[in-house]
Structure 1
Amino acid sequence: MKKQWLDWIKAFIIAAVLAIIVRVFLFAPVVVEGPSMLPTLHSGDHLIVSKINYTVGSPERFDVVVFHATEKKDYIKRVIGLPGDHVSYENNQLYVNGEKMSEPFFDEAGAESENGQFDTRNFTIEQLPGANEEVPEGHILVLGDNRNNSTDSRMLGMIPMEQVVGEAIIAYWPMDRIQLIN
């Protein structure tokens, strides 16, 4: 009987250690707060964030990332500009390095936010905090999908890669919103 109890205790300890390793180094659960990523993500959506994706690789344009905005607050936004990119918006059209870019996440969602339209204020990267003519090395430029209601690089400036927690890979709750992100 004593041996059986020891086996159970060992099993629980091993499970706890594995759970801690997975949580700290590989994946993290995140809950979306607020409307800044509508229509892609809704407030209350539960996500799994891969912490390892950017340890072995780097962000790609249009990845959805989680980053430390403050010591106590993480934000979820979409990568628009990568190091070396020149980014601008003119009349709700994204330009990267002078090339007109399609934003398929708007098309797939019917290109509507809560109020029925998107409005990205016209800007050039030179107007954003922390940038000159291009996204600096080791940084990314992020925007929320709901451009009317998003605190993003237009206010925060360029996001250092050290602040990036990881890439959102799957929404798992609520059940009717289960989806792979991107």
Structure 2
Amino acid sequence: MKEKEQSEWLSWLKALIIALFLVWLIRTFLVIPIEVDGPSMEPTLHNGDYLIAEKVSYRFSSPKRFDIVIFHATADKDYIKRIIGLPGEVVEYKDDKLYINDQFIEEPYLSDHIAQLQSDTIYTVDFNLTEDIIGRHQTIPEGYYLVLGDNRSNSTDSRSDLVGLVSEDDIIGQARFIYWPFKRIRLVN
């Protein structure tokens, strides 16, 4: 009887070790859970939303405009923001409109929200890369991205000296899925 109990304990111990190893493997190389902390990504993401971010796609391709990414903002803190400017581009907001290399670019993820505001409300204050972003670059340097929160008036993002342009090396992953709260379960666009 004692041998059978030991065998059963060893089976449980092996299963537990394998499960812990799989969790470590998945969290290290595939996905990470992350909580939205603050209102900087509203109306897209809300304070207290829990997300799954995948870490794989950026190993094979570069981030794209409008991807929502998680990145190391400081040694202690990761931020969630939307990529607006790509390497080699000139970015400017003028009269509440986004211009990339002097071409107007629509931001469809904000259209409904901005339409609900009063007509004289400015959503994104004018700024440009050469005068208002730390480093005062003519274009976004290779390997860097300009990121903004969707809640432009309440976001610490590339316009802040704390964040500035974000290095591709600091990008952890791309937000893909809200899994909590239950009523907000959906894919992240």
Q: Same fold (TM over 0.5)?
A: yes
**Which of the numbers 150, 162, 173 marks the counterpart of 2:180?**
173
Q: Figure out how many residues of one structure are paired with residues of the other and give that number.
A: 180
Asked whether the 8 Å contact 1:144–1:151 carries over to 2, the reply is yes
TM-score by length of 1: 0.93
- Kindly provide the amino acid, as one letter, of the partner of residue 89 in structure 2: D
- Kindly provide the amino acid, as one letter, of the partner of residue 66 in structure 2: F
Asked whether the 8 Å contact 2:114–2:123 carries over to 1, the reply is no
Partner of 1:160: 167
Q: Give the CA deviation at 1:112.
A: 5.1
SS of 1:34 mapped into structure 2: coil
- Kindly provide the amino acid, as one letter, of the partner of residue 159 in structure 2: R
* Shift in CA distance, 26/81, structure 1 to aligned 2, threshold 3 Å: same
Q: Give the CA deviation at 1:179.
A: 1.5
Partner of 2:70: 66
Q: Give the CA deviation at 1:52.
A: 1.4
Alignment deviations for residues 70-121 of structure 1 (CA, whole Å, 9 cap, x no partner): 11111110000010111100011001111111101112546558xxx55211
Partner of 1:130: 135
Asked whether the 8 Å contact 1:49–1:166 carries over to 2, the reply is yes
Asked whether the 8 Å contact 2:146–2:164 carries over to 1, the reply is yes
**Which of the numbers 147, 150, 171 marks the counterpart of 2:152?**
147
Unaligned 5+ segments in structure 1 are none
* Shift in CA distance, 23/90, structure 1 to aligned 2, threshold 3 Å: same
Larger radius of gyration: 2
Partner of 2:23: 19
Unaligned 5+ segments in structure 2 are none
Q: Give the CA deviation at 1:164.
A: 0.9
**Which of the numbers 98, 105, 113 marks the counterpart of 1:101?**
105
* Shift in CA distance, 112/169, structure 1 to aligned 2, threshold 3 Å: farther
* Shift in CA distance, 162/69, structure 1 to aligned 2, threshold 3 Å: same
SS of 2:175 mapped into structure 1: strand
Alignment deviations for residues 127-178 of structure 1 (CA, whole Å, 9 cap, x no partner): 2112411111000000000001001001122111111111011111001111
* Shift in CA distance, 112/140, structure 1 to aligned 2, threshold 3 Å: farther
TM-score by length of 2: 0.90
Q: Distance in 1 between matches of 2:109 and 2:99?
A: 16
Q: Say what the alpha-carbon RMSD is for the aligned residues.
A: 1.7
Residues 33-44 of structure 1 correspond to what in structure 2 (within 5 A)? 33-44=37-48
